[in-house]
């Protein structure tokens, strides 16, 4: 069976059109909810693919000045943690899990959230906040990091995403 498997670079690409544009929606404010979108946007930019990040609901924490450095791993209600809810709720568990994950990411040379946002923005990736969520949370443009390219309505996001693969993380 092993000899039947091919490495991804050996697969035939007949009939497939290359992806030229992605729009990634980040709606979770935990470390494990934000990083997939950042990694995918960065990977897209490295491949020459146009990439926009659209932050909504608690995903806005990734681009808020007052919260960006305080993002933690969710230990309660997170099935990926493989912890009983009561264990995840013990004071300090979220801090400990965040510290452990941060150390692992450092070893792999994965930048912190703020640095990642800056890297994506500087490579030409778009950083956008959801207008409805911004209004719901009573925020203004001043509440966000300087890399923010704008606050968009959902309609503007769809217009900007025309022709893109839309990815929800």
- CATH code assigned at 49: 3.40.1260.10
**Full-model pTM:** 0.82
**Between residues 139 and 71, which one has the greater pLDDT?**
139
The domain in which residue 157 lies consists of 24-168
Count of structural domains, the chain = 1
pLDDT digits (tens, 9 = 90+) for 41-70: 999 999 999 999 999 999 999 999 999 999
DSSP string of 34-101?
HHHHHHHHHHHHHTT-EEEEEE-GGGGGGGBTTTGGG-----SS-GGG---HHHHTSTTHHHHHHHHH
Residue 2 lies in a domain: no
| DSSP conformational letter for 12 | -
pLDDT digits (tens, 9 = 90+) for 114-125: 999 999 999 999
Residue 19 lies in a domain: no
pLDDT at 131 over 70: yes
Residue 16 lies in a domain: no
Residue 7 lies in a domain: no
Residue 156 lies in a domain: yes
Residue 10 lies in a domain: no
| Gap between the Cα atoms of 124 and 107, Å rounded | 26
| Gap between the Cα atoms of 132 and 6, Å rounded | 45
Region 91-109 average pLDDT: 77
Other beta carbons within 10 Å of 34: 26
Q: What is the pLDDT of residue 7?
A: 46
Residue 49 lies in a domain: yes
Q: What is the pLDDT of residue 79?
A: 66
Q: What is the pLDDT of residue 15?
A: 67
Q: What is the pLDDT of residue 44?
A: 97
Residue 14 lies in a domain: no
pLDDT digits (tens, 9 = 90+) for 26-43: 999 988 899 999 999 999
């Amino acid at each position: 069976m092993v000899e039947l498997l091919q490495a991804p670079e050996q697969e035939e690409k007949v009939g497939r059109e290359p992806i030229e544009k992605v729009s990634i929606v980040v709606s979770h404010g935990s470390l494990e909810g934000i990083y997939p979108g950042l990694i995918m946007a960065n990977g897209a930019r490295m491949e020459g693919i146009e990439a926009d990040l659209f932050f909504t609901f608690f995903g806005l924490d990734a681009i808020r000045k007052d919260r960006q450095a305080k993002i933690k791993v969710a230990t309660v209600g997170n099935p990926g943690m493989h912890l009983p809810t009561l264990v995840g709720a013990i004071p300090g568990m979220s801090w400990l899990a965040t510290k452990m994950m941060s150390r692992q990411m450092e070893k792999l040379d994965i930048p912190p959230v703020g640095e990642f946002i800056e890297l994506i923005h500087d490579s030409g990736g778009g950083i956008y906040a959801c207008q409805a969520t911004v209004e719901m949370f009573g925020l203004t443009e001043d509440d966000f990091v300087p890399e923010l390219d704008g606050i968009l309505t959902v309609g503007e996001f769809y217009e900007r995403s025309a022709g893109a693969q839309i990815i929800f993380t």
